[in-house]
Structure 1
Amino acid sequence: MIDSTTPLQATDPAEIRAERRRLVESVGAHRRLLAERRPFELADRRRLNREAGERARAQARHGKALQRVHEKQARSERSLTGRLNGLDDKRVGQERRALAVLRRESIERSLHGTRLTASEVNGIGSGLVRDLAAQGIRTAADFKRVSWGKAPNGRGGEVLYIHRTQGRKVHINGIGEHRGRPLTEWRRSAVARAEARAPKELPPDERHRIEEIIENERVRLQAELAEVPKAAGAARAEAGQLHAERLAVLTGAQREAGEEAARRRAEFDEMAERLIALRAELAAHVDLYGDLGFRDRRARSRALRPVPDVPPAIPAPRAPDPEPGSGPKTGADAEAHADGEGDAKVREGGEDREGAKASAFPSTPGIRASLGWLVPVVFFGMTAVSGAGETDATPLWCAVATRLVSLAVTVELLRLWIPRRNWRTADAMPGGTGFLASGAFLGLVAASMFTDPLYAADSAPWALAVVAALLVAAGAVRRAGAGPGTSG
C-alpha cells in the first residue's frame, strides 16, 4: 500500500512538482488497485453461485437417496403384505395337494391289492392269468389301458395290446376284443372301488402339521414386515449422516472462502478510504499551489478518473441449524423433514440467481405418473403421422385437422407426463387428463366415421361424438377443479 506525507509549504518549484507528482502517482496507484475490486466481487459472486450449486447438488443426492429408500420400503411392504394375505390360499393349496397325494397312495395300494384271478374276469381262464403274470400283469395296478395296433411280426392285421403301468405294451395271445373289454371293465371297477374307499379329507394330524407350517411362515413374514420400517429408518439415518458430513465439508470450505473474501474486502475498503484521503490531499495541494501546467492537468485527469462501479456484496446463504434432540424419523414426515434440513436460502438479486436454484422435492415421494401413459402418447403420435382411419373419400381439411389434434394431444400429454416422472417433481397426472384423452380418442374415431360413406348414414358416429363431448366436458371440469391427482 502506498503511503504519503502531508504536503510541505515548499517554495522551490521542483519540490512542488515532485510533491504534486508523488500525490498524483499515489492516487493513480490506489485507483488502479481499487479497479480490481469489481472483478473480485464478480468472482466472489460466481463463488457464491458455485457454492449454492454444490449445496443444491448435495441436497439433490440426499433427496434421491431418500427416494430410493422409500421406494425400496414400499416394494418390501407390498411384497410381504401380499405374501401374508396369500397364506390362507397357500394353506388351502397345500391341504389340497396333501389330500391328492394321500388319495393317490390309497388308490395305488388298493389297486396293488386287487389281484387278477380267473374268477374275477369273465372269459379269462387260469392259463391266460398265468400268461398275463408272465408279462408282469398280476394286479389292477400293473396296467393302464388296452389299445389296438399292428401285430408284433407285422402279419395277421391288428391285435390287442395291454399297456403296462411301467414298461412297454404287450400282446397276449388269446386276448382279443372279447377278452380285452372285460379286462378293461374289471380294472375300471377296481379303480372306482379304490376311489370310493380313498379318504375324502385330511387326517387331523396332517391338517395340524400344515397349519403349523403356515403359522410359522406367518410369524416369520410378520417379523420381516416389522423390520422393514426399522431398516428404512436406519437407511434414512445413514443417508442423513452422509448428507450432514457432505454439508459440513461444504460449509467449512465456504467459511474459509468467505473469510478470505472478507479479508480482501476489508483491504479494498481501507484502500478506498486511503484514496479519498489522497484525493483530498491532492485537492488541498492544488488549492495551495495552483495549476502546474498541461502535463500536470493531464496526469491529474488520468489519476482522478472515477473507479468502475462495484456491485454490492451479497452474503452467502446460511445453512439452517439442526434441531436439537431430533432423532431419525420414519415415513413421509421424516422424508419431508430431511428434505428441508439442507435447503439453502437463495439470495435475491435478479441476474445473480443463476446457479442458485433450490431443489424442490416431492412431498409424497414414490408417487409418479404411470408408464401406462406412454400408450396414449404413442397412439396419438402415430395418429399425428398416419391419420385416423382415413380413406380415399376423406376430405383434406379433415385429414389435416385430425393430425393437428393428435399432435396437440401428444405434446400436451408429454408436457404433463415428463416432469411428473422426474423424482424431483414426481406427482400423479392432473385430474381429468384421462377423460380428456379418451374424449379426444373417441372424437377422432367419430370424425373418421363421419367421413367414411359406410358409416356416415348410421347413428354410431353421432353416438361416439356425444360420448366424446361428454368425456371432454367432464375432463375439463375435473381438470379445472381437482388439480393434480389421480387422472380419471
Structure 2
Amino acid sequence: MIDSTTPLQATGPAETRAERRRLVESVGAQRRLLAARRPFELADGRRLNREAGARIRAQARHGKALQRIHEKRARSERSLTAQLNGLDGKRAERERRALAVLRRESIERSLRGTRLTASEVNGIGSGLARDLAAQGIRTAADFKRVSWGKAPDGRGGDVLYIHRTQGRKVHVNGIGEHRGRPLMEWRRAAVARAEARAPKELPPDERHRIEEIIENERGRLQADLAEVPKTAEAARAEAEQLHAERLATLARAEREAADEAALRRAGFDEMAERLLVLRAELAAHVDLYGDLGFRDRRARSRALRPVPAAPPVIPAPRAPEAEPESGSASGATADARPAPGVRASLGWLVPVAFFGVTAMLGAGETDATPLWCAVATRLVSLAVTAELLRLWIPRRNWRTADAMPGGTGFLASGAFLGLVAAGMFTDPLYAADSAPWGLAVVAAVLVVTGAVRRAGAGRTASG
C-alpha cells in the first residue's frame, strides 16, 4: 500500500501499465476493506439498542422490586394495625373465656359435692341409692340426663336409662318414669344452685394476669409495627444497591464495547483517508499518462465504484435512568420510581365476572321480557365490563400502579341494582310491587354519587 502522494515516474509502457495496475488494485483492495464499515455500523446500532434494552429491563426489574417492597410494607402495617385495634376485643374475649372456665369449674365442684341420698330425692330409697352408687352415680355430677330405650336383655318394653357424664348409659331396676322425673328435677335444682353460687366476674388477680398478657402483646405488636418501616427501608436500600451494581456492570460493558467500536471506527476513518489518497494518485497517473486501453478503463471503473454509504451514527435511545451521582444510589432512580400506592385489588374481578356473565346470559330474563330490554341490559353489562377492565388493568401494572378511581364502586353497584330493577320491572310477579321502584331509586342515587366522586377525583388529579 502506497502512502506517498507523488506517483512514480515510469520509464516505459510496461512500467506505466504495472504502476497503473498497482494503483487500481490498491484502490480496489482499500475499497473492499472500507465496504465492511456499513455492516459494522449496523451491528453497532444493534448493540446500542441491546444496551438500551438491557437498561430498560434493569429499570423495570428495579421498579417491580420497589413496588413489591412497598406492597409488603403496606400489608404488614395493615395487619399489625388491625391486630392492635383488635386487642381490646381480644382482652374481652379472654376475660369471657376465663370467666366461663371459672364458672364451669365452680359448678362442677358444687355438683360433685351434692351427693345423691335417699333424703334428697323423693321416691329414691336407700336401696335404690346403693344401686345407683354401684353404677357409678353418687353425685349430681355423675349423670346428665335420662332417656327411654329398649331393655338391655331385649325383652319387655322400654326402660329408663340414665346417661352418665363419663361412660355409657345405665339402667337401674326400680327407676322408671315416676322416679326418673324426681331424679332429673333434683339434678336441675342442684345445677341451678351451683350456677347461682358460681362467680359472676373474674377475680382481680386473674383480670390483672390477662391485662399483662394483652399489654405484652400490645408492646410486641407496636415494636413490630415500628420495625416495618426500618425493614422496608433496608430492603429498599438493598434493592437500590443491587440496581446500582447492575447499572455499573452494564455501564462497564458499554464502555468496553464503545471503546472497541471507536477503535474500529477510527480504523475505517483511516482507510477512508487512504482511499482518498490512492484515488488522488490514480487520478494524477491518468492525467500524466492518459488512457491505457479498454482493460484499464474497465479495471478503473470497478475500482472507482462508490463505496456503500455507512448509516449515520445516531446514538440509540437510552433508558431514562442515569448512573447515580453525588454518591447517592437512590437519586438516579427517583424519577423512574413508580408512584407510591397499592395496586388495584383483585377483588374487582368479581364485578367484572358478574357483568361479563350478565352480558352473555342477561339479567334475570323471563318469557315476558321484551327484546329491547334484553338487548339493553346486555349492552349495559358489556359497557360496564369494558370500563372496569379499562380502569383495572393499567392499575395492576407496576409502572401505573394505583387504586381504582373514586366513585367506581358506587357506579358499579348502581349499575348492578339498575339491572336487577330492570329485570323486576319486566317480571309480572314484581312489576306491581314497590320493590323495583325502590331499587331503581337506590341505583340512581348510587350512580349520581359515583359520578360526582369520579368528577371530584378527576379535578383533584388534574389540579
Question: TM-score, normalization: structure 2?
Answer: 0.84
Percent same amino acid among aligned pairs? 85
- Residue pairs, 1:27-66, within 5 angstroms: 27-66=27-66
Distance 1:412 1:255 in 2: 47
Distance 1:295 1:87 in 2: 103
CA contact (8 A) 2:45 2:315 kept: no
CA contact (8 A) 1:114 1:139 kept: yes
CA contact (8 A) 1:240 1:338 kept: no
Question: Structure 2: where are the runs of 5+ without partners?
Answer: none
Does the C-alpha gap of structure 1 residues 325 and 29 become closer, same or farther in structure 2, counting only changes over 3 Å? closer
Q: Does 85-94 or 127-136 show the bigger shift? A: 127-136
Distance 1:2 1:399 in 2: 90
CA contact (8 A) 1:2 1:30 kept: no
CA contact (8 A) 2:41 2:310 kept: yes
| 1:424 maps onto 2:399 in alignment | yes
Give the equivalent residue in structure 1 for 2:133: 133
One-letter identity of the residue aligned with 1:171: H
CA contact (8 A) 1:4 1:23 kept: no
Q: Does 218-227 or 467-476 show the bigger shift? A: 467-476
CA contact (8 A) 1:440 1:472 kept: yes
Distance 1:59 1:156 in 2: 89
Distance 1:466 1:50 in 2: 59
Distance 1:268 1:232 in 2: 53
Does the C-alpha gap of structure 1 residues 93 and 447 become closer, same or farther in structure 2, counting only changes over 3 Å? closer
Distance 1:462 1:185 in 2: 58
- Residue pairs, 1:343-382, within 5 angstroms: 362-365=338-341, 367-382=342-357
Cα distance, 1:448 vs structure 2: 6.1
Give the equivalent residue in structure 1 for 2:248: 248
One-letter identity of the residue aligned with 2:314: I
Q: 1:302-337 deviations in whole A, cap 9, x for unaligned?
A: 33332222222234759634243547xxxxxx7xx5
- Residue pairs, 1:86-97, within 5 angstroms: 86-97=86-97
Question: Structure 1: where are the runs of 5+ without partners?
Answer: 328-333, 342-359
Distance 2:395 2:76 in 1: 23
Q: How many residues align?
A: 459
Does the C-alpha gap of structure 1 residues 2 and 110 become closer, same or farther in structure 2, counting only changes over 3 Å? farther
Distance 2:2 2:438 in 1: 92
Q: 1:256-300 deviations in whole A, cap 9, x for unaligned?
A: 111000001111112222222333333333333333444333333
Distance 2:76 2:133 in 1: 61
Q: 1:230-251 deviations in whole A, cap 9, x for unaligned?
A: 2222222222232222222222
One-letter identity of the residue aligned with 2:200: K
Distance 2:102 2:433 in 1: 64
Does the C-alpha gap of structure 1 residues 408 and 160 become closer, same or farther in structure 2, counting only changes over 3 Å? closer
Question: TM-score, normalization: structure 1?
Answer: 0.80
Does the C-alpha gap of structure 1 residues 436 and 275 become closer, same or farther in structure 2, counting only changes over 3 Å? farther
CA contact (8 A) 2:244 2:323 kept: no
Cα distance, 1:454 vs structure 2: 7.5
Measured on the aligned residues, the alpha-carbon RMSD in Å equals 3.5
- Residue pairs, 1:379-458, within 5 angstroms: 379-389=354-364, 403=378, 406-434=381-409, 437=412
Q: 1:99-134 deviations in whole A, cap 9, x for unaligned?
A: 111111111111222222333223333333233222
- Equivalent residue of 1:55, what SS? helix
| 1:7 maps onto 2:12 in alignment | no
CA contact (8 A) 2:112 2:140 kept: yes
Q: 1:400-443 deviations in whole A, cap 9, x for unaligned?
A: 66555544544443343323222333223344544555565566
- Residue pairs, 1:119-268, within 5 angstroms: 119-268=119-268
Cα distance, 1:338 vs structure 2: 6.9
Distance 1:470 1:141 in 2: 62
CA contact (8 A) 1:339 1:361 kept: yes
Does the C-alpha gap of structure 1 residues 234 and 19 become closer, same or farther in structure 2, counting only changes over 3 Å? same
Q: 1:83-102 deviations in whole A, cap 9, x for unaligned?
A: 22222222211111111111
Cα distance, 1:160 vs structure 2: 3.0
- Equivalent residue of 1:182, what SS? helix
Does the C-alpha gap of structure 1 residues 138 and 66 become closer, same or farther in structure 2, counting only changes over 3 Å? same
Q: Does 242-251 or 423-432 show the bigger shift? A: 423-432
CA contact (8 A) 1:361 1:425 kept: no
CA contact (8 A) 1:430 1:484 kept: no
| 1:320 maps onto 2:322 in alignment | yes
